Amino acid sequence: MNKLKYPLLILIGAASYGVLSSIMKVGIKEGFHVNQMLGSQYLFGWALLLLLMLIFSRKKLSAKQWIALLAVGVTMSGTSVFYGKAVERLPASIAVVLLFQFTWIGVLMEAVADRRFPSRSKLISIVILIAGTLLAGGVVGESSGAAALDVRGVIYGLISAFTFALYMFVSGRVGTEVPAFNKSFLMTTGAGVIVLAVFSPAFIWDGSLVEGLWKYGLLLGVLGVLIPVVFFAIGMPKVGSGTGAILGAAELPAAVLASVFLVHEHVSGMQWMGIVLIFIGIGVPQIRFSRRKRVQQYDHNESAPAKG
């Protein structure tokens, strides 16, 4: 059961990310801009992490740890910045499929770093996830051809996939000895500086917060920063970046389900089929891992000397 705790944390963190787009759509209907909501997301998320760190974890860190974790935050912000620019230039379904290339990129990063070819279960999982993403993202049946796509938008989408995979990779390998709240706070600090520099912090003083933006900023801060960043900080070092990237694919089904319940969007049968495929793809490595652990436990019990 303890082994399942860490994959579950990654799943919850990924699903938490998935809800953000629907919350932003609701905010847009109330007159707020994506830039304002992204900025307030990081502002409130940073403030919540600072509060939790001061209450639960006041461990002093070295200058080297500070610099390393702030740098990790830069990879974290890259996804928000480049995905936002991709969405501006591409249909949402295409942008989300480009972002979800982080699944195989994350597995490839782990393979290169560890100098070990990905397991058969991971390769099977990636194939299933790509098929599921194409269906769940609504690309199958789309009328827009490849010729109509904005080249810069495609590049931005692929960069967002790379930065998200890189964030997962370094989150699991940098500062593993640092308490989760300290680690998450520093990563969010680095990310927040970049996001506010790109999207402008004007919402802080232009009256948007008191006009209602604070509600979205607080909710987005909890779901888009506090929960996923802390849960990834705890779970990634335990499950590995390759498996973490596969588990992170839960973000898309969560996004589709949130669009149904929060925004009341229509989801086609093909998209539901894609969601099922994604869950199957996520489960393949976990089933294989559990089976291997049972075999190892059985072999250990068989080889253990009998008592009495």
Separation CA 105–CA 115 (nearest Å): 15
In a domain, 278, yes or no: yes
Q: CA-to-CA distance for 56 and 53, rounded, in angstroms?
A: 5
Residue 307 within a domain: no
Answer whether residue 36 is part of any domain.
yes
User: Domain for residue 96, yes or no?
Assistant: yes
Q: What is the dihedral of CA 149, 152, 155, 159, to 10 degrees?
A: -130
Q: pLDDT by residue (tens digit) across 212-231? A: 999 999 999 999 999 999 99
Is residue 306 included in any domain, yes or no? no
Which of 133, 107, 137, 136 lies closest to 120 in space, CA to CA? 107
Please give the angle made by the CA atoms of 268, 269 and 274, to the nearest 5 degrees: 100
- Give the three-state DSSP class for 241: helix
Print burial letters for 207-221: b (CB count within 10 Å at least 16), e (below 16).
ebbeeebbebbbbbb
Model confidence pLDDT, tens digit, residues 131-167: 888 888 777 655 444 446 688 888 998 999 999 999 9
| Residue ranges making up the domain that contains 154 | 2-300
Given this model, what pLDDT does residue 300 score? 44
What H or E segment, with its residue span, contains residue 18?
helix 2-18
End-to-end CA distance of the chain: 31
Confidence at residue 91, expressed as pLDDT on a 0 to 100 scale: 73
CB atoms within 10 A of CB 258: 20
Task: Give the Cα separation of 29 and 265 in Å (integer).
Answer: 14
Q: Mean pLDDT, consecutive 10-residue segments, the chain of 308 residues?
A: 80 89 86 89 95 86 89 88 82 78 88 86 87 79 56 88 91 87 93 89 91 94 93 89 85 84 82 87 68 49 50
Q: What confidence tens digit (pLDDT) does each residue in 278-305 have? A: 888 888 766 655 555 554 444 444 555 5
Number of structural domains the chain divides into: 1
What is the rounded CA–CA span in Å between residue 109 and residue 75? 14
On whether the CB atoms of residues 72 and 178 are closer than 8 A, the answer is no
Q: Which residues contact 34 (CB under 8 A, 6 or more apart)?
A: 24, 28, 84, 87
Name the pTM for this structure: 0.83
